[in-house]
Amino acid sequence: MGLRTYKTIAVFGAGDCPSTTLCNQTERLGRILHDLGAIVATGAYGGIMEAAAKGAVQAGGEAKGYTFQGEPGNDYITQATDCQALAQKSGIALPYLDYLIRMGYLMDSNGFIAVAGGGSGTGLELVATMVFNDKLWPERRPVSIYKPPSVPGRRWDNKMLRSLLWQFRVSEQTAAMYRIFKDPHAAVRHALS
């Protein structure tokens, strides 16, 4: 039997948990990612990032984490990358280089899941996938927005997604890679497609 090939799926989300229910649902998402053969990658901190890593690791999987500004990652990260150390080692004197390195590592994933309810950091990561899909990656990569029923309100809905895709003049081919899901299995299957 051959070696199993794992895809890395980056999970973006708030550094805190807006609700216990959403954190539990994100842990489940992490377990599903592992069960379907993925390695979870996150920004390594708390909240949604920790919940996704926890779910994957408790199911027997791996969680990559990319830290910056010298802050340690959460306890569930099995492969940590200290982006501040890499920035210092580079010798390039650029403010926030560690954050840009972190973003580069996350963008190197095979697919993406943005968990609804995140703030400006999650939004920046989502928009970065649009730029990379439209201009940098030789083949487009799937992006799921996971919005379980526990996330209230009209934010992070199809209207928001259509508006972002239109405002940033994203091509139709790239726009086809973005979908919103209420079901975690469907979100993972799309991210792995």
Domain count for the chain, please give it.
Answer: 1
Q: Quick check: is 115 in a domain?
A: yes
The range of the structural domain enclosing residue 146 comes to: 7-192
Is residue 2 in some structural domain? no
90-117 tens-digit pLDDT: 999 899 999 999 999 999 999 999 999 8
- Residue 185, C-beta contacts closer than 8 angstroms, at least 6 positions apart: 32
79-97 pLDDT, tens per residue? Answer: 999 999 999 999 998 999 9
**Contact at 8 Å (CB) between 109 and 41?**
yes
Looking at the chain, the whole-number percentage of residues with pLDDT higher than 70 is: 96
Distance (Å, rounded) from C-alpha 134 to C-alpha 140?
Answer: 8
- Give domain status of residue 137, yes or no: yes
Distance, CA of 12 to CA of 41 (rounded, Å): 9
Mean pLDDT over residues 140-168, rounded? 90
Q: What is the pLDDT of residue 1?
A: 47
* CATH code of 182's domain: 3.40.50.450
* AA letter at 10: A
pLDDT score, position 49:
97
Half-sphere exposure of residue 128: CA atoms within 13 angstroms, side-chain side: 21
Torsion, Cα 128 152 32 24, to 10 degrees, reads 120
Q: Look at residue 168 and tell me if it is in a domain.
A: yes
Average pLDDT over residues 109-128: 94
Distance of alpha carbon 49 from alpha carbon 72, whole angstroms? 13
pLDDT-derived band at 5, boundaries 50, 70, 90: low
Task: Give the least confident one: 23-32, 113-122, 182-191.
Answer: 113-122
Q: Return the DSSP state at 133.
A: I
